[in-house]
Amino acid sequence: MSKERIGLMDANGGSAETGRGIDETGMAGGFAESVEQKMDAVRDWFASHCCGFVKEVCLPSDFELFNQGSCQSPFSCPLDDSSHNLICLNGAQLCDGIAHCPDKFDETFYCKSECKESEHKCGGQNLCLPQEALCNGIDDCRDGSDEKDCEVCIQGAKMCNGRKCVAASRLCDGKSDCEDASDEKTEMVRCSDSRFYPLTEACRGELSQCASSCPDCHPTAAFACRKEHKCIQQSMVCNGIPDCVGGEDERDCDRVCDLENSFKCARSNKNKCIPAEQRCDGIWHCEDKSDEMNCREVGLMNRENDISSLICSAP
């Protein structure tokens, strides 16, 4: 991996080259009183400063960075045994004969001739991909099979005809990735204020004027009220306030996870439980990212997902 293609931020959020950054709390000014406040401030600081000195990394907008995990990767590995920094790899860097991780994790863990039932086998490769790497619009398999025959696209990727997913970063970039060139067409929705909004923006449940104007609600960011065909935000689900006719957004909110073997996502994807080993592993499995919060407090530090301490490979 070329050093020229890596942007490094130290554990305090500063540039390894310039020394610019934030204080020992990970905050500009150190004014956070909670983990959530700390992460909010780190995100704001990172979005406003990162492109000023980490020029090797191509970063999209603040929204894309933190809601789609631009630098986050299912294939991340620690920089070394004592560091919380992560090296973010893509599928092309797995099982390629080059050890990108210090412990050669990328050349052993995913490199198998036979995959588990829960994994995807890349055609013509001894490469097994986890579910988190499928249908996100990024071709990790050489044959692109990890992005085909998808029922739902994740991380903001767009579904092409034929159930192929194209990454959000490749939409409207002047190059057709879908056979029908639909990735180069902006789908618009006319909302109750008579204005037109992009489909992906209108149907997240965040714009009240568009709540009842969408053919389908965003699969992860929104909850669909079926009776009135309305989209509401996932954060409004199971919050004690009925927002759908009949209160369907407040039903089945009492599911309890097996706390010894699983973790319950706090707000989004109501009643979603994930395996305990996915808690604080550096990958967002809950849409509200609650599985990567308070990792220091619970003593899980293997791959803490702190945006201020990532090493990101440029695309």
pLDDT in tens, 141-200: 999 999 988 888 887 777 887 688 888 778 777 888 888 887 877 778 889 998 888 787
Going by the DSSP 8-state scheme, the letter that residue 173 receives in this structure is S
pLDDT of residue 82: 74
- Residue 255 CA to residue 265 CA, distance in Å, equals 11
The total number of structural domains in the chain stands at 1
* Residue at 289 is within a domain: no
- The domain of 230 spans 186-250
* Residue at 291 is within a domain: no
Three-state SS at 132: helix
* Residue at 219 is within a domain: yes
Per-state percent for the chain, helix, strand, coil, to nearest 5: 25, 15, 65
* Residue at 215 is within a domain: yes
- Residue 140 CA to residue 91 CA, distance in Å, equals 4
7, 34, 10: which is closest to 22 by C-alpha?
10
Structure token pair of residue 109: 């863990």
Cα 219 to Cα 128, 215, 262: the distances in Å are 26, 12, 23
Question: What pTM was estimated for this model as a whole?
Answer: 0.42
Tell me how many degrees the CA angle 159-163-164 measures, rounded to the nearest 5.
Answer: 70
* Residue at 264 is within a domain: no
Distant-in-sequence, close-in-space partners of 140: CB < 8 Å, separation ≥ 6: 90, 91, 92, 94, 122, 127, 129, 133, 146
Q: Say how many Å lie between the first and final Cα of the chain, rounded.
A: 12
86, 75, 63, 87: which is closest to 206 by C-alpha?
63
Distant-in-sequence, close-in-space partners of 81: CB < 8 Å, separation ≥ 6: none
* Residue at 290 is within a domain: no
Average confidence score pLDDT of the chain: 68
* Residue at 201 is within a domain: yes
* Residue at 8 is within a domain: no
Strand partners, 310: 86
pLDDT of residue 152: 80
Listed as ranges, residues in the chain with pLDDT below 50 are 1-36, 38-71, 269, 300-315
Q: Which amino acid is present at 289?
A: K
Three-state SS at 146: helix
Hey, CA dihedral for 218, 220, 221, 223, is it positive or negative? positive
pLDDT of residue 267: 61
Hey, CA dihedral for 175, 137, 149, 197, is it positive or negative? negative
Q: 């409004």: which residue's tokens? A: 236
Three-state SS at 263: strand
Structure token pair of residue 14: 């500063």
